[in-house]
Amino acid sequence: MEQSDTKKIKILFLFFLVLLGFIIFLGTLFYWATIDRRLPRLEHTEISHALRGNIISSDGFKLATSQKLYKAIVDTRNIDPKKVDLFIKLYTLYSGDDPTKIASILKSNQGSTVLSYRIDSKSAKYLQELSRKLYKLGVFRSYEDPKTGAAFLRGLSVLESGEDRLYPANDAITPILGYVKKIEQDMITKTTGVKGIERSYEDKLSSVQNSLVVGARDISNAIILDGNSISTRRSDGYDVHLTLSLKMQKILEDTLDRFRRELDAKEILVGIVQSETGEFLSLATSSRFNPDSIEKKDYGSLNISAIEYIYEPGSVMKPITLALLLKANKVNPYDIINVYGGSYKIGSKVITDTHKDDKLSIEDIITYSSNVGTAQIAQKLDAVEFYQGLKDFGFSLRSGIDLPFENVGVIPALNRFNSPIYKATVGYGYGLNATFMQVLKAYTVFNNNGRIVTPMIVKKLVSPLGQELFPERTPDAQVIPVAVAKRMQKILLKVVASGTGVGTKMQGLEIGGKTGTSHLTEGGEYVKVYNGSFFGFANDAKNRYTIGVLVREAKKNKAYFASQSAVPVFKAVVEKMVENGYLTPSPDIQN
């Protein structure tokens, strides 16, 4: 009886022992089925980040472009210790990095390590191919984490780190092009415009959509493209095509650099615009910088002087005053004015001329740049005619050019034009502030049958798919009658033929314009520092250009006179236009 009970107990114990083992077996299976073993993901995602659009000159050169930057990452624990030297040799051969530097990085880091942040697209492609070869060569081996027991094999990864903005033409067409700054966006370094075209067309230049590829991956982390993979198209920013010619711009920039040295000037500006369309052929300055490497010494060149620097224009305003008088039928060009030997007093102010004439016709007041004559005829305009006339010519208003941060300048308030002295001084270019761009735009009126055009630098925008967009154009306004414009054009031709602009005369071309020499102020007082300018036009049988020159603060002896500074620059500019086929002299044109 006792022997039987003992046998039953043993069988029961054995049963529970087997049952416990089975339960442990099931529990183990459940554990390994549910635990995160950090296995490699079977599905892989790749993002190709879209790039900023290009800025392209009218002659087809890329002035600003973007390239992708990549970073190379390797997990040092996956490199076979016996093949570290082989890895360094092959990696530096493909990347161009210094072997000593890479060896030091690998030695001083344990785990996931960035070998380089600035790998270009070409090198990145080679390194991605190298990664596959390294797997085949057995350079990488699986590593098991001693803490978790999880095994992984990461090898060499080449990932996008951002984009780099490049300016292949160096300082050409700056500061018009502008520059960018870096920003962090979705863990990627991107760029955004700060000044110039880069800023004004930021919404079009900036990238639109990144591409996305999702699919199964092979052992080297490459996505297998099959019917189960998903992909979306990348959409880069629009390309911005300028009206400016890089070739002509470089030629003129070299010319301005030479004159800047000869005249010892602070800066020289030149603008060439097609009188009938407003499109710029060139907008150049001697004050430039390289957007790829802006230094502290470049800070003064970052602003676009043509639209941001304001000054008293001086005598280049005299033709505008006369045009308003002719429009209002207040004077006749052949009327004779007593200019009192070049000295005339209005109130407590004495106005003087360089030329000591007794009498001049009204058109000769412009030809020989008489302050005394202009001061007298300006009195014939009433306050509204003068004030509104200046606004019609674009003063105290934005020119509409497609550049940011344009200064609007200042003209006196309407009630100030009731003062004879204000009428006089504004009439010959003092008592108001304007920009180079405003004066240049105003002069298009004289070479475009009395219509004023909006200056423009961008010709068109082109999407990655080839769709073309054209900037909206402001309708041209008729500022003065055609007859008045033609009369003013003849007077400006006379300035070049026998007046203060005679130094710009060239056979076979129709050239007219007006000089301007203006004092600068410091602390509210006029000092012996001057700006010299010449604004006018140059035409041949087919082409009509409005051209402006501003020489700021020339220090060479007597170079402060516009006839000694701006006039020679203007002539040199026209000569370069002839040499490069933009103007063709003809014996049929008598100037």
Instruction: Return d(Cα 262, Cα 270) in angstroms, integer.
Output: 16
**Which residue range(s) make up the domain with 88?**
43-95+112-132+156-216+229-242
Retrieve residue 14's tokens. Answer: 């054995």
What distance in Å separates the CA atoms of residue 294 and residue 311, rounded to the nearest whole number?
27
Query: Residue 426: what residue type?
Result: V
332 inside domain: yes
Is residue 102 in some structural domain? Answer: no
Q: How many CA atoms lie within 13 A of 503 on its CB side?
A: 17
Do 235 and 264 fall into the same domain? no
Q: How many CB atoms lie within 10 A of CB 223?
A: 17
| Same domain as 267, residue 212 | no
Under a CB-based contact definition with an 8 Å cutoff, are residues 234 and 210 in contact? Answer: yes
**Residue 380 burial class via C-beta count within 10 angstroms: exposed 0-12, middle 13-18, buried 19 and up:** middle
User: Does the residue 335 lie in any domain?
Assistant: yes
170 & 266 share domain? no
Question: Domains in the chain: how many in total?
Answer: 2
What per-residue confidence (pLDDT) applies to 40?
46
- Do residues 130 and 90 lie in contact, with contact meaning Cβ atoms separated by under 8 Å? yes
- What residues form DSSP beta bridges with 535? 514, 548
Within 96-229, residue ranges assigned H as helices are 99-108, 121-136, 196-200, 202-205
Ranges under pLDDT 50 in the chain: 1, 35-41, 212
**Pair 124, 151: CB distance under 8 Å:** no
Q: Which residue has the tokens 């959409």?
A: 235
Instruction: Give yes or no for a contact between 536 and 496, defined as CB atoms under 8 angstroms apart.
Output: yes
206 and 279 share a domain? no
Statement to judge: residues 193 and 279 lie in one domain: no
Question: Does one domain contain both 235 and 380?
Answer: no
Can you give the pLDDT at residue 13?
A: 66
Both 395 and 257 in a single domain?
yes
Domain containing 235 — which CATH number? 3.90.1310.10
- The domain that holds 493 is classified in CATH as 3.40.710.10
Same domain, yes or no, for 350 and 373?
Answer: yes
Q: Do 338 and 384 reside in the same domain of the chain? A: yes
Q: State the pairing for strand pair 359-361/336-338.
A: antiparallel
| Domain membership flag for residue 403 | yes
Residues 169-205 have pLDDT tens digits of 999 999 999 999 988 877 778 899 999 999 999 999 9
421 forms bridges with which residues in the sheet?
none
Do residues 434 and 547 share a domain? yes
User: What is the structure's pLDDT at 392?
Assistant: 97
Distance CA 190, CA 182 (A): 6
Is residue 165 in some structural domain? yes
- CB distance 379 to 423 below 8 Å: yes
Given a contact cutoff of 8 angstroms between Cβ atoms, the answer to whether 512 and 496 are in contact is: yes
* CB-count burial class (<10 Å; 0-12, 13-18, 19+) for 530: buried
251 plus 238 within the same structural domain: no
**Secondary structure (3-state) at 18:** helix
Query: Nearest 5°: phi and psi at 371?
Result: -65, -40
One DSSP character per residue, 208-258 reads -B-EEEEEEB-TTS-B--STT-EEE--BPPPEEEES--HHHHHHHHHHHHH
2 part of a folded domain: no
Residue 560 falls inside a structural domain: yes
Residues 125 and 163 grouped into a single domain:
yes
In a domain, 11, yes or no: no
